[in-house]
Chains A and B, each alone.
Chain A
Amino acid sequence: MSALRAVLKRFVPGPRWGVILPPYLWLGLFFAVPFLIVLKISFSRLAIAMPPYTPVLDYVDEALTLHLNLGNYVALVTDSQYVAAYLSSIKIAAVSTLLTLLVGYPMAYVISRLPAATRNVALMLVVLPSWTSFLVRVYAWIGILDGNGLLNRALMAIGLIREPLHILYTPMAAYIGIVYCYLPFMVLPLYATLIKLDDRLLEAAYDLGAKPWRAFLNVTLPLSRSGIVAGCMLVMIPAVGEFVIPEMLGGPDTLMIGRVMWGEFFNNRDWPTASAVAIVMLLLLLVPILIFNRVQQRELEGRLS
């Protein structure tokens, strides 16, 4: 009886699997499988067919053949348009991440220093805009930045400028859009680290002769590093692949990889190239994600030991 129970115990999953399994199933079904399909398509050839690509695996006359077409990847490296798009994406994402940090840090800092009641209202105000549709909010920026929009009319009304500023459909507008949309993702992790900061550490710094700005540089800033890294990753990673904001606000010269992929997929119906573009983008993003994980790991180890 007990032997049977031991065997059963070995092969019948315990109740904890009931908790562990659903997220894994979810990830497998909606992440791993689609990823493998995209990976497969990226190794195929363009074909006038339905679906519009050649199969990678072929079983003809009892022979199983694997066709790995590396042409899509070679094209990505050799065609300067793709390289330029990748570089420009990374540049735009990096610059907007930096801008978001510059705007978000002071916000998070001030919010963390507010009295508890006001603090929650302020946090609410940061998150509240995300409750309306992302598309509506980006559209609203067209109304603001337009040559005849709110911003230009306001600036001309107070006499600061005579001619309307040309902001909409330039990279500048894309930056504004990205900073605006991703600001909560920067402010929240920064706030989470800054609120934990022990006030007595700042007092200790003042007590030892540090002027307020030096206390900030030597104590507050290094101790909020994990928040800075988390916020930057949360902004940078989706910003690299951003499609909607540069499409709607940026001009034709705002070259980003998301737009290139869209063009390949919908305009050229070139699924294999589009897939290859997507895979390479994923690999590029893997680098910052790994850095992020390492920093977090080290922080965790530092606390536990």
Chain B
Amino acid sequence: MSVDMAVRPAAMPHETGGEGYVRIVDVRKEFEGFVAVDDVSLDIRKGEIFALLGGSGSGKSTLLRCLAGFEQPTRGSIWLDGQRLDALPPYERPINMMFQSYALFPHMTVEQNIAFGLKQDGLPKEAIRTRVAEMLEMVQLGKLARRKPHQLSGGQQQRVALARSLAKGPKLLLLDEPMGALDKKLRSKMQLELVNIIETTGVTCVMVTHDQEEAMTMATRIALMDQGWIRQVGTPDEIYESPANRFAAEFIGPINLIEGRIGEDKANYVTVLSPALPVPVYVGHGITGVQGQEVAFGVRPEKVWITKDEPDQPCNKARGSIEDIAYFGSHSIFHVRLPSGVKVLSNFANQQRWASEGLTWGDEVWVSWADDDGVVLTS
């Protein structure tokens, strides 16, 4: 895994009929005086659940609305299954969307909501009825077919919204903050349920979310967006384990970032010298950098070991004292302050009751990590 593999250069030649089922080619969207989507190119494969992940103002929702047809890109093109989409109005695109907080028609029953799209196509009544029954069974809402949306719970409404957006058998399904309107407990249950239903139908899916956990649970690949840019594209573990840059490293999960300079840069290893650490950092893979270049070394807290005795390794270790202990039940997070002032977080899985009892505030400890456990970030 190379560290910066995931950023696609925007100038890469794009021709239709390539590998992407959905192809977003140099799409730019400007609103009065500000750029919401800044020359984004993406290829999304057939059958994928693809997440656009980012904070507010990252341009993820605007990009989704460009796909749905509610916004016209300022320039660039969007292709789906070889067909150019960006000139088509939303009602002529073979795309359906599950809206944030669902946008169910309040004056229609569950059945009528699901049938709405089929009716617009002028299907015969019998065909509509069969299809609606099929969809109701898929989301297990047969008993509630005659209810109005306001008589349903949040989770039920979500399933109606999903059934409505899948009823027409779209080529592409869009999910806008699918869990946004649910409480935390229901979320994790519905995330898996939603993925199961989507995978049964085999539909290609693009979802927008600000919640990294949601993106990692549901998506096969994630595009991390920031200020209209794509900062990294990759599978959840690629993004987590090999972040391409500081933004990606810090956006997803906690990470210890240590500033330093490249010491030795060889084909199969690299060392980073940091004033914060007494010994060099040794990373067991090569990067594209030059000696002396300013970089950051990142290592996730769960890969940092905490021991009372000095570990038997020449690199990747430091001595410090425990400043804080955050107890989460399943694990504890130790905040270790190094003599240089840098704080290192270490996860300690509480696999045995009272196992962490030996360590307490103010204890002098060693933090360490293995050669392959960290990444060097050049940007």
Contact = CB atoms under 8 A, between A and B. Distances in A.
A203 B121 contact: no
B86 to A, nearest CB: 16
B91 interface: yes
Interface residues of A, number: 20
Given A205-B116, A206-B91, A223-B107, A200 B99 contact: yes
A115 to B, nearest CB: 13
Contacts of B164: 208
Given A203-B103, A209-B117, A302 B148 contact: yes
Contacts of A305: 150-151
Contacts of B99: 200, 203-204, 207
A201 B70 CA distance: 13
A208 B103 contact: no
B120 interface: yes
Contacts of B165: 207-208
B150 A208 contact: no
Contacts of A281: none
Contacts of B168: 208-209
Given A218-B116, A305-B151, A207 B105 contact: no
Given A207-B68, A209-B91, A305-B151, A201 B103 contact: yes
A198 B105 CA distance: 10
B3 interface: no
A205 B165 CA distance: 11
Nearest to A198: B103
Contacts of B91: 206-211
Contacts of A198: 103
Nearest to A219: B105
A222 interface: yes
Contact of A222 (B103, B107, B117): B107
A226 to B, nearest CB: 11
Nearest to B97: A207
Contacts of A16: none
B253 interface: no
A200 B161 CA distance: 13
Contacts of A204: 97, 99, 103-105
Given A200-B99, A204-B99, A207-B68, A223 B116 contact: no
A206 B89 contact: yes
Contacts of B105: 201, 204-205, 219
B107 A208 contact: no
A81 to B, nearest CB: 45
Contacts of A5: none
B49 to A, nearest CB: 19
A303 B69 CA distance: 32
B254 interface: no
B96 interface: yes
B95 interface: yes
Interface in B79-124: 89-92, 95-97, 99-100, 103-107, 116-117, 120-121
Nearest to A201: B103
Contacts of A302: 148, 150
Contacts of B97: 204, 207
B70 A203 contact: yes
Contacts of A222: 107
Contacts of A219: 105
A260 to B, nearest CB: 42
Q: Which of A200, A203, A209 has the most chain B CB atoms inside 10 A of its CB?
A: A209
A303 B150 contact: yes
A214 B107 contact: no
A219 B116 CA distance: 10
Among B69, B92, B116, residue most surrounded by chain A Cβ atoms (within 10 Å): B116
A208 B105 CA distance: 12
B285 to A, nearest CB: 46
B70 A208 contact: no
Nearest to A200: B103
Contacts of B69: 206-207
B148 A208 contact: no
Interface in B141-162: 148, 150-151
B120 A210 contact: yes
Nearest to A212: B91
Contacts of A210: 91, 116, 120
Nearest to B96: A207
Contact of A214 (B68, B120, B151): B120
B160 to A, nearest CB: 12
By Cβ-Cβ distance, the 10 closest A-B pairs, closest first, are A208-B117, A209-B120, A200-B103, A204-B103, A206-B90, A206-B91, A210-B120, A209-B91, A207-B97, A222-B107
Given A204-B103, A208-B120, 16 more contacts: A198-B103, A204-B104, A207-B68, A207-B69, A207-B99, A208-B91, A208-B96, A208-B165, A209-B117, A209-B168, A210-B120, A211-B120, A218-B116, A219-B105, A303-B150, A305-B150
